[in-house]
Amino acid sequence: MTSFNFARLCAAVAISSSALLSLGWSQAYAQATARNDGQQDAPKQRDRILVFSKTGGFRHDSIPDGIACVRELLADRYDIDATEDAALFTRDNLKRYRCVVFVSTTGDILNPDQQLAFEEFIRAGGGFAGIHAAADTEHSWPWYGKLVGAYFKTHPPVQESLVKVEDRKHRSTRMLPADWKRTDEWYVYDHNPRSEVRVLASLDDATVEGADMGGDHPIAWYREFDGGRSWYTGGGHTKESFREPLFRKHIEGGILWAASAKDDPAQASSDSPSSRSDSGDGEAGGGEAGGGKPVSGTPAAAPPSNTREPVPNRSHPAPEA
């Protein structure tokens, strides 16, 4: 081979090696880019909330309104699962949720295995939010009685009353007026839970007939319990409750607190009493009589639905599986 041909061969080999090396780097870059793109495109998993509304006793016709309200308030931040299937109360399934919301559940609704799974969920740092008849649930399960704070005992007919908001810094009550007039079915509980919970609001017994608890009548409260969080409100009997702007904000704040959601300083400032004017008749945030005006776009509230006469403590059927 002549020196000229040898030189050409060497040049060709060099060019081929350079091309292969370049191709290798290109492939590696393409693979790395694809991996990064895949990571960026993968949707971020959102936290979940379980809304439970199984009933073993009285059934409130406001339950669908309560479920819809939770969805409307929180579906932009959480995946909301609503069910009446107690079989979902297993250790593995409950691990998927940040908070379980009982919307007017009644009676004995969880079997022993399901109760144990729920206890473990709370002990692992899970949250519980109870609305209205959540206090008329599982009367024979002492642990649940401590979780919810107090059991329902009786109630008078639906009527307007004055709620005295005691804690105006908590995220479920900071938007409320000090004196909050609203219409609902006001529960009397089997005992005063004040020594066991942190009371958010209490009922002025002088403004309601048939619901006397000796002058100290807590109606909404919260507590850290057994490793987790518990929040409860006695409101929510009527369908109209779930269209009241202030009651909706009350529920939203309570569930967010129970779910250990990070608070938004801007929202906290917006909700705080100093950011709005209060009047003694309970008007706040543009609401009427503590939130009696329906949410914009909803029909005017009809007279309170699903009213009942005073009843004694209800009896419950045998636990359902």
Q: Let me know: does 238 contact 231? Beta carbons within 8 Å.
A: no
Is residue 302 one of the residues assigned to a domain? no
- Structure tokens belonging to residue 8: 């050409």
Identity of the residue numbered 32: A
In angstroms, the CA 200 to CA 257 distance is 13
Q: What is the CATH number of the domain that holds 220?
A: 3.40.50.880
In angstroms, the CA 195 to CA 278 distance is 29
- Structure tokens belonging to residue 20: 């292969």
The total number of structural domains in the chain stands at: 1
Give the pLDDT score at 319: 33
List, in order, residues 6 or more apart from 246 with CB less than 8 Å away: 175, 176, 180, 182, 284, 285, 287, 290, 291
Is residue 282 one of the residues assigned to a domain? no
Give the pLDDT score at 153: 98
Closest CA to 238 of 312, 153, 301, 316: 301
Give the pLDDT score at 182: 98
In 3-state terms, what secondary structure has residue 208? coil
Greatest alpha-carbon pair distance for the chain in Å reads 117
Please enumerate, as own/partner, the contacts of 190-194 that have beta carbons within 8 Å and a separation of 24 or more. Answer: 190/150, 190/151, 190/152, 190/153, 190/313, 191/150, 192/150, 192/216, 192/217, 192/218, 193/149, 193/150, 193/218, 193/221, 194/218
Give the pLDDT score at 250: 98
Query: From first to last of its 321 residues, what are the pLDDT tens digits of the chain?
Result: 555 555 555 555 455 555 444 545 456 555 555 555 555 555 678 999 999 999 999 999 999 999 999 999 999 999 999 999 999 999 999 999 999 999 999 999 999 999 999 999 999 999 999 999 999 999 999 999 999 999 999 999 999 999 999 999 999 999 999 999 999 999 999 999 999 999 999 999 999 999 989 999 999 999 999 999 999 999 999 999 999 999 999 999 999 999 999 998 777 767 766 555 454 333 333 333 334 434 433 333 333 333 333 333 433 333 333
Is residue 38 one of the residues assigned to a domain? no
Is residue 33 one of the residues assigned to a domain? no
Is residue 310 one of the residues assigned to a domain? no
Residue 195: CA count within 13 A, CB half-sphere: 2
Is residue 320 one of the residues assigned to a domain? no
Is residue 266 one of the residues assigned to a domain? yes
Give the pLDDT score at 320: 35
Domain with 103, as residue range(s), is: 48-275
Rg (Cα) of the chain, in Å, rounded? 28
